[in-house]
Amino acid sequence: MSDIEVLLPDGSARTLSEGASALDLASQIGARLAKDALAATVNGDLTDLTKPLPAGATVAIVTPASDLGREVLRHSTAHVLAQAVTRLWPGAHYAIGPAIRDGFYYDFSLPNGARFSDDDLGRIEAEMRVIMGENQPFVREEFSYDDGLALFADQPFKVEIITGVRDGATPEDASEVSGSVVSTYSNSPAFKDLCRGPHVPSTARLGHFKLMRVAGAYWRGDEKRPQLQRIYGTAWESKDALAAHLTQLEEAEKRDHRRLGQELDLFSFPSELGPGLAVFHPKGGTMRRVMEEYSRSRHVAAGYEFVNSPHITKAELFETSGHLQWFADGMYPPMDLDDGQQYYLKPMNCPFHVLIFKARQRSYRELPLRMFEFGTVYRYEKSGAVHGLTRVRGLTQDDAHIFCTREQMRDELVSLLTFVLDLLRDFGLNEFYLELSTRPAGKAVGTDEEWNEAEATLAEVATNAGLELVMDHGGGAFYGPKISVQAKDAIGRTHQLSTIQLDFQLPQRFDTSYIANDNARHRPIMIHRALFGSVERFMALLIEHYAGNIPTWMSPEQVRVLGVRDDHDAYAYDIAAALKQDGVRVSVEAANEPLGARIRRAKLEKVPYILVVGDDDVASGTLGINARGANDPERGVTLEEFRRRLSEEISSHGSPELTRGA
RNA sequence: GCCUGGGUAGCUCAGCCGGCAGAGCAGCUCAUUCGUAAUGAGCAGGUCAGGGGUUCGAUUCCCCUCCCAGGCUCCA
């Protein structure tokens, strides 16, 4: 038998006997690696450890504590989940069970229409641990399509996957099947699953997992197809990694804007109003006002005009714009008024701005014309889709529409992108990437030429911005492509924020024109853009980004002054009055309770600065500062010094507690 | 819209097999005057989401509606 040579990721070569597997390679390198190994990549493709290696291949051993390793063990855990479910519910049909971010899921259809309940998760988990204890090897086999169909004759979803791949109808299922054969993995004679693999060598290699929840999921993600029962789980390479993940989930829950909105008395969703309809309380209203005022001032500086439009309009407007044709499902049903007219709540502001443009003849000298409005719109979201402030039925967009010439378009987009990123940075977001959404298949209006030009321009501007650009093929709106700015928050989640959308269509539909210097009518280009997206959603993001520690400049209450004893209250009010002169949002809590209790309350309310004043301060005109997130309070600071520091922090939009690690 | 789970005092939650509705915090009153995360006592607070049904009796069991959560679908 001859030898083969394979390359390791570091470029070094190893000699193995022909037919040797990645597991043999791992053993040659070290016993510990062989023990850890879960799978391998051969020339970049993920495969089983036991598969013979081709000569000259570049081979890397996949170990648990890596992205690929976790993917493999999550996928294998999903198989064990399916096996456990078929043990507990004989006759259960299992559909697909991939690894996903942080875990895995598997979709099932139980016999006789049975459904999982949350209580079943414990039983299933226990059965999974039994299977893992049985140390079952994952064994790969390959079958022809016909044999595969026979094998899974009583598993309709598997049959559909195999026939779909055989007939080339569903290329995405190629992940379940490879080449002209179907592959299966069985970890016991009693359980075989259609799967491309790879899998861990044995079920005993699994175990640091937890089933999280049961949910409904449509087969193939299609509303019109049967709804399956999906079980979600999380799985990790070690007990510690699992525990860390669960802790992180708890941390994320603590900064959930819905919870903080309640705790900090910012907003609520009275059930009397219906789903997705929020009211802002005084504190939330203050934060929102500051956000909006700052945005307005920036827009003024950037040359925007301010406009306003009503919340309802005759159907005609949205017939002309095309919204009724495309998005009637997402609009509130019309009100029939007594003259037979139908009126709609507006789902978008753009048609109104077009009408403002059209209110009189426009000259090229007026372009670019930038119209801004905090426009409140209403969208009839499906009842199951609403979510806190991030997905609501009534929302306010920081919406603007820019009318410009084709020649101005590029420059306008460049300065717009700079403007967007500057503004977001002022709110404390610093990590971005851009996404370019292109023509949606089947539902776009407009010519190929228009789309191609729009997409090319946006791509050029996005590339020049120097940020990472991700393509979202087919993700554009029906009327034009868009760039969206994705921002990363303090715990690493990304959120789609600003969108900049090109639109060749609306100006046409409304027959919009301006007179150019050639004395002829020309069609303007329209750019739709929102920076916050929705004020509500942006506020939710900020609350979570800052974990409720709203930066001082936006904080509803910036300073609270506490006298140590009630004979210090008068001095406390003097301090507050002085700060009010600077425009600071300050309150005084009189000394009816022990100082510790009042400090605790202010801390829980996340007031940025608690000022404590006692005998020493009254005597020497000073104050004590207990700053949010600081380890120790500071004593004997002069009022002037505090005013200086505070105004510096507010005007710079600072958020020192982030750097203090609060 | 669909699936699963939930809705008990302002908030967080307990309440077993159907038998007079509970706690902590918050609120109010009184006392306490205190230097950096909870002073004490007392009081008040409920259509157990809403409606219907079963039952001698329903917060509890069943049905419908509303609202919430996690998913699926959707997101101009």
A481 touches strand B (CB under 7 A): no
In the predicted structure, residue A543 carries a pLDDT above the cut 70: yes
CB A533 within 8 A of CB A496: yes
Catalytic position from the list A199, A230, A401, A560: A401
A500 bridge partner residues: A483, A529
Closest nucleotide to residue A622 (Cα to C1')? B35
Catalytic position from the list A495, A522, A528, A560: A528
Question: What gap in Å lies between CA A368 and CA A250, rounded to an integer?
Answer: 48
Nucleotides of B under 7 A from a protein CB: 1-5, 7, 11-12, 31-39, 66-76
The pLDDT value given to residue A195: 87
A372 bridge partner residues: A306, A400
A62 touches strand B (CB under 7 A): no
Express each pLDDT in A103-159 by its tens digit. Answer: 999 999 988 878 888 778 888 999 999 999 999 999 988 888 888 888 898 899 999
* Distance measured from the CA of protein residue A144 to the C1' of nucleotide B47, in angstroms: 67
Known catalytic membership, residue A404: no
Protein residue closest via CA to C1' of B12: A263
In the predicted structure, residue A662 carries a pLDDT above the cut 50: no
Q: For residue A610, what are the CA distances in angstroms to A81, A170, A590, A633, A638?
A: 53, 62, 13, 9, 14
* Distance measured from the CA of protein residue A383 to the C1' of nucleotide B51, in angstroms: 22
Helix crossing, A282-301 with A406-426: angle to 10°?
A: 140
The pLDDT value given to residue A169: 58
Question: What gap in Å lies between CA A141 and CA A219, rounded to an integer?
Answer: 26
- Cα A482-A484-A487 angle, rounded to 5 deg: 175
A52 preceded by cis ω (within 30°)?
no
The pLDDT value given to residue A95: 92
* Distance measured from the CA of protein residue A392 to the C1' of nucleotide B26, in angstroms: 29
Known catalytic membership, residue A281: no
The pLDDT value given to residue A174: 47
In the predicted structure, residue A20 carries a pLDDT above the cut 70: yes
Average pLDDT over residues A574-586: 96
* Distance measured from the CA of protein residue A413 to the C1' of nucleotide B62, in angstroms: 62
A495 touches strand B (CB under 7 A): no
For chain A, what is the radius of gyration of the CA atoms? 31
Could you write out the DSSP letters of every residue in A73-116?
A: HHHHHHHHHHHHHHHHSTT-EE----EETTEEEEEEE-GGG---
Q: How confident is the model at residue A19 (pLDDT cuts 50, 70, 90)?
A: confident
Closest nucleotide to residue A215 (Cα to C1')? B71
* Distance measured from the CA of protein residue A263 to the C1' of nucleotide B11, in angstroms: 8
Catalytic position from the list A391, A482, A495, A598: A482
Protein residue closest via CA to C1' of B69: A387
In the predicted structure, residue A225 carries a pLDDT above the cut 60: yes
CB A142 within 8 A of CB A240: no
* Distance measured from the CA of protein residue A371 to the C1' of nucleotide B5, in angstroms: 46
Catalytic position from the list A350, A362, A505, A585: A350
The pLDDT value given to residue A77: 94
Greatest mean pLDDT among A366-375, A451-460, A488-497 lies in A366-375
* Dihedral sign computed on CA atoms, order A129, A135, A140, A146: negative
User: Strand A99-100 relative to strand A103-109: parallel, antiparallel, unpaired?
Assistant: antiparallel
In the predicted structure, residue A546 carries a pLDDT above the cut 60: yes
CB A263 within 8 A of CB A374: no
A257 touches strand B (CB under 7 A): no
Identify the residues numbered 379 to 418 in chain A whose C-beta atom is closer than 7 Å to any atom of strand B: 379-388, 391
The pLDDT value given to residue A4: 85
Question: Is the pTM here over 0.95, yes or no?
Answer: no
The pLDDT value given to residue A226: 87
Q: How confident is the model at residue A179 (pLDDT cuts 50, 70, 90)?
A: low
A41 bridge partner residues: A46, A60
A221 touches strand B (CB under 7 A): yes
Question: What gap in Å lies between CA A611 and CA A627, rounded to an integer?
Answer: 8
Known catalytic membership, residue A528: yes
CB A174 within 8 A of CB A165: yes
Q: What is the overall mean pLDDT for chain A?
A: 90
* Distance measured from the CA of protein residue A372 to the C1' of nucleotide B74, in angstroms: 28
The pLDDT value given to residue A83: 93
Q: How confident is the model at residue A308 (pLDDT cuts 50, 70, 90)?
A: very high
**A288 half-sphere exposure, CB direction, 13 A CA radius:** 24
Nearest to A310 by CA among A403, A376, A396, A369: A376
Helix crossing, A639-651 with A569-581: angle to 10°?
A: 40
Phi and psi at A204, nearest 5°, equal: -70, -15
Q: What is the three-class DSSP state of A442?
A: coil
In one letter, which amino acid is A598? R
Place of tokens 């009275």: A270
A631 touches strand B (CB under 7 A): no
In the predicted structure, residue A54 carries a pLDDT above the cut 90: no
Place of tokens 């991700």: A470
Known catalytic membership, residue A523: no
Q: What is the three-class DSSP state of A272?
A: coil
Protein residue closest via CA to C1' of B6: A118
Structure-token pair, residue A425: 């940075």
Question: What gap in Å lies between CA A9 and CA A290, rounded to an integer?
Answer: 54
Q: For residue A216, what are the CA distances in angstroms to A97, A222, A574?
A: 14, 12, 60
Q: How confident is the model at residue A661 (pLDDT cuts 50, 70, 90)?
A: very low
Percent of chain A predicted with pLDDT > 90: 58
Known catalytic membership, residue A482: yes
CB A197 within 8 A of CB A98: no
CB A433 within 8 A of CB A472: no
Express each pLDDT in A234-285 by its tens digit. Answer: 999 999 999 999 888 888 888 999 999 999 999 999 888 888 999 999 999 9
Question: What gap in Å lies between CA A323 and CA A329, rounded to an integer?
Answer: 10
Known catalytic membership, residue A606: no
* Distance measured from the CA of protein residue A485 to the C1' of nucleotide B47, in angstroms: 50
The pLDDT value given to residue A178: 54
Closest nucleotide to residue A105 (Cα to C1')? B71
Structure-token pair, residue A466: 């120097």
Q: How confident is the model at residue A396 (pLDDT cuts 50, 70, 90)?
A: very high
Average pLDDT over residues A322-350: 89
Closest nucleotide to residue A216 (Cα to C1')? B3
Q: What is the predicted ipTM?
A: 0.93
Catalytic position from the list A136, A155, A229, A397: A397
Place of tokens 């990645």: A22
DSSP A243: H
Closest nucleotide to residue A378 (Cα to C1')? B76
Region class of A102: left (phi > 0), else alpha (psi between -120 and 50), else beta: left
A19 touches strand B (CB under 7 A): no
Place of tokens 């509803």: A556
Identify the residues numbered 297 to 336 in chain A whose C-beta atom is closer than 7 Å to any atom of strand B: 323, 326-327, 330-331
* Distance measured from the CA of protein residue A376 to the C1' of nucleotide B9, in angstroms: 36
DSSP A467: S
Nearest to A615 by CA among A631, A595, A645: A595
CB A479 within 8 A of CB A322: yes
* Dihedral sign computed on CA atoms, order A143, A146, A148, A151: negative
Known catalytic membership, residue A399: yes
Place of tokens 């306008």: A412
In one letter, which amino acid is A190? A
A69 CA to centre of own chain: 25
- Range with the lowest mean pLDDT among A82-96, A328-342, A371-385? A328-342
Q: How confident is the model at residue A181 (pLDDT cuts 50, 70, 90)?
A: confident
